[in-house]
Amino acid sequence: MRPARRREMHAREQHGAALLTAMLIVVLVTTLASAMIWQQWRAVQVESAERARTQAAWILTGSLDWARLILREDARSGRATTLSEPWATPLAEARLSTFLATDRDNTDSGPDAFLSGSIIDAQSRYNLRNLIDDSGKVVDVELFALQRLFESIGVAPDVATRVASGLRDAMTPAGSADRPVTAPLMPRNIGQLAWLGIDADSVRRLAPYVVILPVRTAVNLNTASREVIAASIDGLDVGGAERLVQTRQRTPFKTLAEAQALVPATLKMEESRVGVLSNFFEVRGRLRLDDRVMEELSLVERRGLDVVALQRRRVSSKDSVR
C-alpha cells in the first residue's frame, strides 16, 4: 500500500476515535447534569414536604389548643357532661384561609388547606382498664359486662376473656413471679389490641364501643351508646338502655339519681361503674392539604380547669376523597 493511502486511512481512524470520544464525553456530561438536576429537584421536594409537615403539625397543635379551651370553659360551668354542650359540636371542614384572613387576594395563591375536628367523650365507651383491679386480678363483674357488650355488637364472648387475660399479663410488674415469660406489651389504644392476639375484624367492631384509659373510670350515661349502657348496668337489657338514651336526648341527666329513677328499683346503678360526668376526652384534628391528609388523635384528661394531653399520635395518608 502506498504511503499516501496509509496516511489517509490513519487520519480517518483518528477522526473516528476523536468523534467517538466526543460522543462519550457528551453522554457523560448529560448523565451527570441529569443526576445533578434530579438531586436538586429531589432536595426541593423534600424541603417542601418537610415544610408542609411542620406547618401542618403546628396547625394541628392549634386544634388541640382549641379543644383545651372549650373543655376548660365547660368545666367552669360545673354541670354534668352531656352531648348538648359546645364541646360535642364538631368543627366542620373549613378552608384554613377563612381563619387567617378575610382578604381572599392574600390566600388564593396558596394551596388549599382545610381544617376540621371533633371532641369525643372517651367515657362514652367501656374502659378496658376496668377489667383489672389494683391487685392485678381480673374483676369478674367487669368481665361479664364486657362479654354482654361483645355479644350485643357481634363479637364472640371468648374474645372478652382473651382481652382480660392479655391485659392482666401486660399489667403484671416486670420481675414478678406471676408475669408470663411471653407477656405482651400494654396496649395504649384499641388498634394495639392485636398485641393480645385479637383479630383485625374484632378490633374493627370494638373500636366504637371500647377505650383504654390509664385509670378505671365510670361510663357516662349522658354520652354512652345503648349497648355500652346495657353492659354497664347489671340486669338492664338493650331496650331499657334505649329508654335512657331517649330520655337524655330531651333532658340530660344532671345526677345519677335521675337516671336511677328510670329503671326498676332492683337494678342498682353503681357510681364506680356509671355516672354523669367525664374527665377523659379524645380530640381529633384533621388537616387536608391538596391530596394529602394529616390527622392527629389526642387523649386528654380534664383535671379541674387544667386539660392535660396524655397521648398524641399522627396519621398521614392519601386522601381518598377529592
Per DSSP, which regions of 183-291 are E strands?
210-211, 219-220, 274-275, 280-289
Collapse the DSSP code of 133 into the 3-class scheme (helix H, G, I; strand E, B; otherwise coil) and give the result. Answer: coil
Burial class (CB in 10 A: 0-12, 13-18, 19+), 76: exposed
Closest among 220, 189, 10 to 125, alpha carbons compared: 220
pTM of the model: 0.79
DSSP state of 179: S
Looking at residue 319, its pLDDT comes to 44
Give the chain's mean pLDDT: 85
Q: Where in the chain is the domain with CATH 3.30.1300.30?
A: 60-123+279-318
Q: In this predicted structure, what is the pLDDT of residue 101?
A: 54
Contact between 232 and 216 under an 8 Å Cβ cutoff? The reply is: no
* C-alpha cell of residue 45: 421536594
pLDDT value for 165: 94
Q: Which CATH superfamily includes the segment(s) 60-123+279-318?
A: GSPII I/J protein-like (3.30.1300.30)
Give the integer Cα–Cα distance in Å for 307 and 106: 35
For residue 302, which phi and psi values (nearest 5 degrees)?
-95, 115
Model confidence pLDDT, tens digit, residues 125-145: 999 999 999 989 999 999 999
Q: What is the pLDDT of residues 10-59, one digit of tens each?
A: 666 666 677 777 788 888 888 878 878 877 777 776 766 666 666 666 67
Q: Using alpha carbons only, give the angle 58, 293, 320 rounded to the nearest 5 degrees.
A: 170
Band of the pLDDT at 295, cuts 50, 70, 90? confident
What is the structure's pLDDT at 104? 55
